[in-house]
Amino acid sequence: MIEERRERADAARNRRAILRATEDLLARHRPEQISMEQVAAAAGVGKGTVFHRFGSRMGLMVALMQERAYALEEAVASGPPPLGPGVPPEERLMAFLDAIVDVVGRNKGLLAALGHAATAAPRPEWKEHGEHRDEDGDHPVYRFWHGHTSALIAARRPDLDGELLAHILLGSLQSEPVLRLLERGETMRLAASLRVMASGMLAAPAPALA
């Protein structure tokens, strides 16, 4: 078919520099006050380059997030239990939630930045660079998290609205107060409460009626 043209060496170098710089700034400053210009400067490239590579603020954040979440995705698909396959859904769900809390905890800034970026999708429709911007408007990482969560819920409780319950469970991680908690390092506390929530849900009586 079409011959995939390899990415040029300098381009690759720059991409990594930009990602690194973003990571760095994210660790040091509040995400909403990091401008693309700052990122460019910190990476030692022109602003134009940043946009050329990532399309938009959102694109940058999504790319970074994807990188961060990759390991988890692997572990779930083909790693050892309880994250990977081989144990009952309930157990996997708990492990998965713990893992997500962990990832989120180590990337609070990014999460917030993503949320912020979601807001800022002005005019153009982004035809090229179209890796993100799918039917749902969510980034692939969230897509995967939600898909897995809702599948696990459905496996144990097909009578519940797994789709939505998964959104509720995951959505809570994006809320300001919860992020603040993570910032204070209370990861365990969050994980514990999420478990309560999830296990309670799996054991809940069937909904009142259809």
Contact set with a second copy (CB under 8 A): 32-33, 115-116, 118-120, 122, 136-138, 146, 160-161, 164-165, 167-178, 180-181, 189-190, 192-197, 199-205, 207-208
Specify the residue for token string 């309880």.
82
Are 101 and 190 in contact, with CB atoms under 8 Å apart? yes
Q: Which of 1, 2, 124, 205 binds DNA (CB under 7 A)?
A: 124
Alpha helices for 47-161 (secondary structure H):
47-54, 57-78, 89-105, 108-119, 140-156
The minimum distance between CB 114 and DNA, in angstroms, equals 13
127 interacts with DNA by CB under 7 A: no
Which lies closer to DNA via its Cβ, residue 52 or residue 189? 52
5 interacts with DNA by CB under 7 A: yes
**CA dist 5 to 40, 99, 181, Å?**
25, 36, 45
As a whole number of angstroms, the distance between CA 210 and CA 21 comes to 51
**Identity (one letter) of the amino acid at 170?**
L
Judged by CB under 7 A, the number of residues near DNA is: 32
Which lies closer to a second copy via its Cβ, residue 33 or residue 48? 33
6 interacts with DNA by CB under 7 A: yes
Q: Which stretch binds DNA (CB under 7 A): 95-103, 122-130, 169-177, 186-194?
A: 122-130
57 C-beta neighbours (distance < 10 Å), count: 22
Residue 140 has which token pair? 């692939």
Residues 40-79, one symbol each (x = binds DNA by CB under 7 A, - = not), give -----xxxxx-xxx-xxxx---------------------
Instruction: Determine phi and psi for 167, rounding to 5 degrees.
Output: -60, -40
Residue 155 has which token pair? 């496996």
Q: Which stretch binds DNA (CB under 7 A): 22-30, 38-46, 79-87, 200-208?
A: 38-46
Which lies closer to DNA via its Cβ, residue 44 or residue 171? 44
As a whole number of angstroms, the distance between CA 162 and CA 169 comes to 10
The minimum distance between CB 52 and DNA, in angstroms, equals 4
Are 173 and 198 in contact, with CB atoms under 8 Å apart? no
Q: Which residues bind DNA (CB under 7 A)?
A: 5-11, 13-14, 33-38, 45-49, 51-53, 55-58, 120-124
